Amino acid sequence: MTSEAKKVPIPPRGVDYRGKVVLAPMVRSGELPSRLLALHYGADLVWGPETVDRSMIGTTRRHNPDTNTIDWTRKPSQGAKQPPADVKDSVLYRIHTEKEAGKHIFQVGTSNPDLAVAAARLVAADVSGIDVNAGCPKPFSTHDGMGAALLQTPDKLCAILAALVQHITPEFDIGISVKIRILDTAAETEALVRRLVATGITGLTVHCRTTPMRPRERAIRGQLRMIADVCCEAGVACLMNGDVETRDQALELVREFGVDGAMIATGAEKNSSVFRPGGALPWREVVEQYVRFAMEVENKFGNTKFLLCQLIPGKQPAYRQISSCKSYTKICELLEFDHLAERAREVDLALDIDPDFAGTKKDAKQNKKKKPSKRNNSALAAGGQMAQARVSNSNTKKGLSERGVNVQPTEQPAEATAIPA
């Protein structure tokens, strides 16, 4: 695209999507440590995971001094019951204002203009853009008319975007964008895109698959140049998504189809170093950096373990063994990250996880309260001296230092690399 091409003005705090290779919005795989990992390896922008408007409304914004993050929290759902006063708040959304400054795009799941504005207003001061999800085909998005279901209700989708442009952009000086999928025919897609770019948005991402298609099916790029031309004519930046695996490939596709940038999803989920020029790094190096970031921001352990199962190749012995880990300490032992062991124990305790028990403190207390059943006593008696020895060993478990593990001082995580504006 030429420098003389029309461009919708970018608000002062907003970002221009042109020339960018970015991390796609992914539920579970788009939490804070994953975004920090992508930025560390060269992603120009990162999308947070889709967050439903109703879930965001009612949260409390707090600065977390322990993790240097901004957290949006609320009491955990208890169904019809009122949660006890001493129940710890759940973190619904978390950003790192320093490392994600100028690079974080919040994606909202919505089917209502008023709710979209209300949810966006809660985070707009802390992010660089608001993106509307009109492309996710999964039931948790489409069941309430959100996600890809919005492609069938273009009047509603345009109303949502127009409301965000009208209320959020002038108040917070950030741009509004949308992520869609292609429709069955090029004519239908063109008609939709022309309506969307007329709402005042600054960016549009097209996932080159139809709603029924799944990731295993190859992306369809036949409509891509037409979409890029329509966006260019309106001055709206156009990103492409779908089977984009590396930065080098992304830049080739940008040149081939005339789009402004590209979004990487599955490739980054498997190895976030694909954002580096020249290709990906060995998985072990990437995993260590991910664990560092996860511990730095005290990421929920279940999410960390899920991502490790994406980053560690399935044929590696560590992939099978990671499923038995229930603490950061155990993960560092398994992966032989001995230099991170001390920090891992600190994080486990901060998250109310017992590093030695390999479960939660609550589970440990409950186990202590349980009396041995007759069946267990009989089994112990039948086992004789061998059973007695096993029980004795389990009650005298040695600490890391006693077992010969050299616990070194915690190393500081590498700073995120400088990303071009």
What's the start-to-end Cα distance of the chain, in Å? 19
**Residue 249 CB contacts under 8 Å (≥ 6 apart), including other chains:** none
Quickly count: other Cβ atoms within 10 Å of residue 397's Cβ.
Answer: 10
Q: How far apart are CA 134 and CA 110, in angstroms?
A: 9
Question: What burial class does residue 13 get, using C-beta atoms within 10 Å of its C-beta: 0-12 exposed, 13-18 middle, 19+ buried?
Answer: middle
Nearest to 53, CA basis, from 104, 140, 120, 144:
120
Annotated active-site residue in 136, 208, 238, 325: 136
Angle at 131 between CA 127 and CA 137, to 5 degrees: 135
SS3 408: coil
Helix %, strand %, coil % of the chain (to 5) = 45, 15, 40
Strands 129-134 and 175-181: parallel
Angle at 21 between CA 20 and CA 26, to 5 degrees: 125
Cα–Cα separations (whole angstroms), residue 377 to 298, 369, 374, 393: 40, 16, 5, 17
Nearest to 295, CA basis, from 63, 66, 70, 76:
66
Strand segments (E) across 312-410: 353-354, 359-360
Q: Is 136 noted as a catalytic residue in this protein? A: yes
Q: Which residue has the tokens 């373990």?
A: 305
Strand segments (E) across 2-135: 21-23, 45-47, 51-52, 60-64, 69-74, 90-95, 104-109, 129-134
Nearest to 296, CA basis, from 330, 337, 343, 336:
343
Tally the C-alpha atoms within 13 A of residue 321's C-alpha that lie toward its C-beta.
10
What's phi and psi for 240, nearest 5 deg? Answer: -110, 150
Question: Are the beta carbons of 347 and 301 closer than 8 angstroms?
Answer: no
Active site residues: 136
